[in-house]
Structure 1
Amino acid sequence: MKRWHLRILAIVLAATALGLIAYKARVLGFPLSPEEEVASWVVEARLGFDPDQEHVGIKAELAIPAQPPGFMVLDENFVSRGYGVQTEMRGDNRVALWSIRRASGPQALYYRATIARHARAPVDEAVPALETTPDYGELEGAAVEAILDEVRSKSADIATFSSLLVQKLANPANDENVQLLLPQPASREARTRTAIHVLAGAHIPARTVWGIRLAEGVSDPRPEPWLEVNNGERWIAINPADASHGYPPDFLIWWHGDTPMFQADNARHVELRLSTSRKFEPALDLVNRQTALTGSPVMAYALSNLPVHVQNVYRTLLLVPIGILLIVLLRNVIGIRTFGTFMPVLISLAFRETDLASGVLLFTVIVTAGLGVRFYLEHLKLLLVPRLAVVVIVVIILMLLVSLLAYRLDFDVGLSVALFPMVIMAMTIERISIVWEEHGPGDAITQAVGSLVVAVACYLVMFNERVEYFVFVFPEALLLVLAVALMLGRYTGYRLSELLRFRALAGKGGSTP
């Protein structure tokens, strides 16, 4: 197979992995580290009132957020004792409806929602038909026409036209026409209504948008009116106070239009109180909830959808390729010699159930004791398979003795020795004894120490909290690991250990004797 074929395959695998990781991180918002936290907001609306009379039927309505731009409603609850609750859409607004046949005494209805920031794609809205010119009176019509002529001469499009108009309404002192149209003192709501009224004379659709600021520590935030104008393609938000475009990042749109936010039939002393509070939660949990609500196809194949016990299996299993790649680097590039190819990875998995220091100690004790038994068996002249069977049985007995001794000494870590892979331990003991006999104790000890060092390195890399998190959340990273392993499969250069081994020759400069 030609060399370019391997390179193209590795590039495709790496590009696929990096593309999927970038999409999940940048578009879906998956955090890259487990420590990341994001803020969400709990918004509560309390509608309180008293029935007009005892045991009277009540119907109450409250506008609630639908799909606020820049935010997502993650969860919502309706708390009302004895009331029936339903929601319905009315144009651009979403309304909660409470009803009860008989009510007596003070009543309180609650709506609670969990809101989080979300880069929601803009929803295409139908462009409203241009309104006909309102029936202005003679004096009012003249004032409106004068204002429109002045603003039209200084503007270039609907957006600048609307901004200049709002600026004039925000500073009525120097314009008699504005003073005629705008009552004094003018509230924010009055300026918004007047702007909509004047824009209708220019056949520009406009509407009022109500929302609240999500601020920590603010009790009973009041809804603020905002102006939106339509340029034939989209709605443009304009601040009635300073004519700036766009909503603040903490502004939550609640409802549209001039309809009241709430009302109740057969009730008096109707009062609405709003409250907000901020809370922090792991970014991954929040993203999982958001993507589940949006129906992302990526989440359909996410590991978090599996049963918890299966997730726990893959949390460990997905780390094995990381350890295997590390072994490839340490053996083929560094030149560390080990017993077996992937035995250190299995040993490092056992270290996870103990701790690193205790695991190394237990591994050393069992291998040393097993090696002594193996040398004794050599004098019995056993065949290969029976000898391996005896070594496995002896390893299990040694593990049992270590666990019993650890229990008697209140050394809890020693109880985890049973998790060591006994067959791998037996094969390691057999390999050490063979190398000892064929190449001497120095070579056997070197490979044994190398195996232990590689197992420790695998443990430190595989069970790093950030690595565990990243591989579980972004399992496509294994494609990148596969690409690196494929490229290392063609590596034929010097190992670092060989450079040290032949440094004396390098010092002679290649001269002939």
Structure 2
Amino acid sequence: MRRWHLLSLVLVLLVTAVSLIAYKVRVLGYPLTPNEEVEGWIVEARLSFEPTGAALKAELAIPLDPPGYVLLDENFVSRGYGLQTEERGDRRMALWSTRRPSGHQTLYYRATVARSDEEREPQPAPPLDQAPEYEELEGEAVQAILDEVRSKSADIATFASILVRVLASPAPDNNVQLLLPNPASRDELARTAIRVLAGARIPARMVQGIRLADGASGLRTEPWLEVNNGDDWIPIDPGDGARGYPDDFLVWWRGGDAPYAVDPARGAELRFSVTRTLEPALEMVTRQAQLAESPVMAYSLSTLPVDVQNVYRALLLIPIGVLLIVFMRNVVGIQTFGTFMPVLIALAFRETDLMSGAILFSVIVALGLAVRFYLEHLKLLLVPRLAVVVIVVILLMLLVSMLSYRMQFDIGLSVALFPMVIMAMTIERISIVWEEHGAGDAIRQSIGSLLVAVACYLVMFQPRVDHFVFVFPEVLLVVLALALLLGRYTGYRLSELLRFRAFAGAGRP
């Protein structure tokens, strides 16, 4: 019964950890490796004008929930201007104001966007109550076009696509020629399609956006068409009737009027520049999850202050080292001083480097051990003796640091980062084992502790392990499950198989 209880607990821990990791990777897009990068775009809008009066107000439409993209960051550059933003229906506006502008003025808005596969909530719109008023000939042409399109369509989406193709035909009929010049621009096609669709009580609106091309400057917006089928808005290319936005199209604002207004001023002009950028995948995904208000982000380490994140980045690696120690002791059979001392020494190695840290640790322990044997002749009590060892260890650290500095060996300055109390206890433990079991056992356990500390350092601070544990701390549930399983291991240690190999050979015929 106890065995099944343990196995059930291990299974629950494993399933929970794997489920959380899979959700983060597949749904939120968290990277599995530390060096992954994702594509982002920096889009800059530049509004320039010449003031013609005193107090000035300027408005600029800025992105609001663009389909297929997520807005990660935005900046405004406008020295001497007051700034605020507000939402007006399906628009978002930046509002600048100043009292005494002088000379040519330029206002900047910069947005960082990235592609997003997150599904947007549907935005249904009720059908129009009544058709617009057309002039007599215009009304007859609109009705003839609607009758032709209605006979060839199956739903609102196909109706709008066919209508656009009829309007954009290179050889338009008389009805189309009455409504549009030949050739017609995309803007004229979109506006005419909206007006004709209104005759069929179908809501439609114009959308303005830009193409994301690396290094592009001086861009102007490109008009697009959106038609509502009662469930959501369907994008349609006003040039050929194709449905859906291109992958490189960023919706900037919705509406047929100008995206900016400056009063009083003249010569207002809006231009866009685009730059492609590669950003760390973890940073990008974290910002996307925060904007999407994912419930996982409420308990994510990335929401903590940076200094606290740095603390937990090291603490979360300790269970990995502890599991390795359990494996090395119970399965391999390497003897160490204590259970956690090698992990703490590995943490100290992180602040120096592996080779220098191992040398410095060995030197200080050896010198401290010599002092400990000298103290044995003074017949001190246990607690005072430990206090003396701690004081001596600190003095040795100071001495090594000073000598390292004089010899221009900067690595020695990091010796103070070693856990001095642990080192003092290690020195005390080595001396006791030396006295009770001999020098062989003491040296063997010292070497084993140092080897395990090196192994912990190599595993814990491998960049992929460091990244994976910090991004997916639920992997510690897997570590916990493995530790529980190792706790029931009662088989032979590998060192015992090597030690008693002669008996195995003796039993053969």
Tell me the TM-score normalised to structure 2 length.
Answer: 0.88
Residues 274, 386 of structure 1: alpha-carbon distance in 2 compared, 3 angstrom cutoff: closer
1:368 to 366, 386, 397: 366
Cα deviations by residue, 1:295-317 (Å, 9 ceiling, x for unpaired):
44443443344444433332222
1:203 is paired with a residue of what secondary structure? coil
1:193 to 191, 194, 199: 191
Q: Give 1:38-77 correspondences, 5 Å limit.
A: 38-52=38-52, 55-77=53-75
The structural deviation recorded for 1:12 is 2.3
Corresponding residue number in structure 1 for 2:21: 21
Q: Which amino acid in the other structure matches residue 279 of structure 2?
A: E
Does the CA-based 8 Å contact 1:131-1:205 persist in structure 2? no
Cα deviations by residue, 1:250-294 (Å, 9 ceiling, x for unpaired):
211111121222233443322222222333333333344444444
**Equivalent-residue separation in structure 1 for 2:322 and 2:242 (angstroms):** 57
2:123 to 122, 125, 140: 125
Alpha-carbon RMSD across the aligned residues, in angstroms, is: 3.1
1:127 is paired with a residue of what secondary structure? coil
2:207 is paired with a residue of what secondary structure? strand
**Equivalent-residue separation in structure 2 for 1:474 and 1:391 (angstroms):** 41
1:254 is paired with a residue of what secondary structure? strand
Residues 495, 241 of structure 1: alpha-carbon distance in 2 compared, 3 angstrom cutoff: farther
Corresponding residue number in structure 2 for 1:88: 86
Residues 175, 13 of structure 1: alpha-carbon distance in 2 compared, 3 angstrom cutoff: same
1:272 aligns with 2:267: no
Does the CA-based 8 Å contact 1:173-1:179 persist in structure 2? no
**Equivalent-residue separation in structure 1 for 2:218 and 2:114 (angstroms):** 20
Q: Which amino acid in the other structure matches residue 64 of structure 2?
A: A
**Equivalent-residue separation in structure 2 for 1:344 and 1:225 (angstroms):** 65
Corresponding residue number in structure 1 for 2:4: 4
1:173 is paired with a residue of what secondary structure? coil
Does the CA-based 8 Å contact 1:255-1:261 persist in structure 2? yes
Does the CA-based 8 Å contact 1:367-1:429 persist in structure 2? yes
Residues 436, 267 of structure 1: alpha-carbon distance in 2 compared, 3 angstrom cutoff: closer
Cα deviations by residue, 1:454-486 (Å, 9 ceiling, x for unpaired):
000001111223322332333333222222212
**Equivalent-residue separation in structure 1 for 2:505 and 2:397 (angstroms):** 50
Residues 94, 406 of structure 1: alpha-carbon distance in 2 compared, 3 angstrom cutoff: closer
**Equivalent-residue separation in structure 1 for 2:388 and 2:267 (angstroms):** 88
Cα deviations by residue, 1:140-196 (Å, 9 ceiling, x for unpaired):
445444443443343332222222222333324164544443320121122222322
**Equivalent-residue separation in structure 2 for 1:109 and 1:414 (angstroms):** 54
Q: Give 1:98-497 correspondences, 5 Å limit.
A: 98-100=96-98, 103=101, 105-137=103-135, 139-173=137-171, 175-375=173-373, 388-389=386-387, 391-497=389-495
1:108 is paired with a residue of what secondary structure? strand
Does the CA-based 8 Å contact 2:50-2:266 persist in structure 1? yes
Q: Which amino acid in the other structure matches residue 5 of structure 2?
A: H
The structural deviation recorded for 1:109 is 3.2
Q: Which amino acid in the other structure matches residue 482 of structure 2?
A: V
Residues 9, 201 of structure 1: alpha-carbon distance in 2 compared, 3 angstrom cutoff: same
Cα deviations by residue, 1:366-389 (Å, 9 ceiling, x for unpaired):
333344444555566666555555
Corresponding residue number in structure 1 for 2:95: 97
The structural deviation recorded for 1:437 is 4.7
**Equivalent-residue separation in structure 2 for 1:40 and 1:370 (angstroms):** 56
Does the CA-based 8 Å contact 2:127-2:202 persist in structure 1? no
1:222 is paired with a residue of what secondary structure? coil
Q: Which amino acid in the other structure matches residue 179 of structure 2?
A: L
The structural deviation recorded for 1:341 is 1.7
Corresponding residue number in structure 1 for 2:496: 498
**Equivalent-residue separation in structure 1 for 2:50 and 2:66 (angstroms):** 31
**Equivalent-residue separation in structure 2 for 1:351 and 1:310 (angstroms):** 21
Q: Which amino acid in the other structure matches residue 231 of structure 1?
A: N
**Equivalent-residue separation in structure 1 for 2:79 and 2:369 (angstroms):** 74
**% same residue:** 71
**Equivalent-residue separation in structure 1 for 2:488 and 2:412 (angstroms):** 43
Does the CA-based 8 Å contact 1:69-1:122 persist in structure 2? yes
The structural deviation recorded for 1:452 is 1.1
**Equivalent-residue separation in structure 2 for 1:297 and 1:381 (angstroms):** 62
**Equivalent-residue separation in structure 2 for 1:252 and 1:502 (angstroms):** 72
Does the CA-based 8 Å contact 1:131-1:204 persist in structure 2? no
Cα deviations by residue, 1:336-377 (Å, 9 ceiling, x for unpaired):
222222221121122222211111112222333344444555
**Equivalent-residue separation in structure 1 for 2:486 and 2:347 (angstroms):** 24
| Further displaced range: 191-200 or 435-444 | 435-444
The structural deviation recorded for 1:451 is 1.2
| Further displaced range: 392-401 or 2-11 | 392-401
**Equivalent-residue separation in structure 2 for 1:34 and 1:497 (angstroms):** 36
Residues 365, 263 of structure 1: alpha-carbon distance in 2 compared, 3 angstrom cutoff: closer
| Further displaced range: 236-245 or 40-49 | 40-49
**Equivalent-residue separation in structure 1 for 2:379 and 2:73 (angstroms):** 73
Residues 325, 162 of structure 1: alpha-carbon distance in 2 compared, 3 angstrom cutoff: same
**Equivalent-residue separation in structure 1 for 2:391 and 2:94 (angstroms):** 71
1:183 is paired with a residue of what secondary structure? coil
| Further displaced range: 460-469 or 419-428 | 419-428
Cα deviations by residue, 1:411-460 (Å, 9 ceiling, x for unpaired):
22223333333333343334434444554444433322211110000011
**Equivalent-residue separation in structure 1 for 2:81 and 2:381 (angstroms):** 83
**Equivalent-residue separation in structure 2 for 1:407 and 1:99 (angstroms):** 59
The structural deviation recorded for 1:5 is 2.0
1:264 is paired with a residue of what secondary structure? strand
The structural deviation recorded for 1:406 is 2.6
Does the CA-based 8 Å contact 2:220-2:270 persist in structure 1? no
**Equivalent-residue separation in structure 2 for 1:381 and 1:264 (angstroms):** 90
Residues 243, 491 of structure 1: alpha-carbon distance in 2 compared, 3 angstrom cutoff: farther
Q: Which amino acid in the other structure matches residue 87 of structure 1?
A: T
| Further displaced range: 3-12 or 384-393 | 384-393
Does the CA-based 8 Å contact 1:172-1:178 persist in structure 2? no
1:218 is paired with a residue of what secondary structure? coil
Residues 251, 374 of structure 1: alpha-carbon distance in 2 compared, 3 angstrom cutoff: same
**Equivalent-residue separation in structure 2 for 1:141 and 1:261 (angstroms):** 30
Structure 2 residues not aligned, in runs of 5+? none
**Equivalent-residue separation in structure 2 for 1:31 and 1:503 (angstroms):** 46
2:171 is paired with a residue of what secondary structure? helix
The structural deviation recorded for 1:217 is 1.3
Does the CA-based 8 Å contact 2:124-2:229 persist in structure 1? no
Structure 1 residues not aligned, in runs of 5+? none
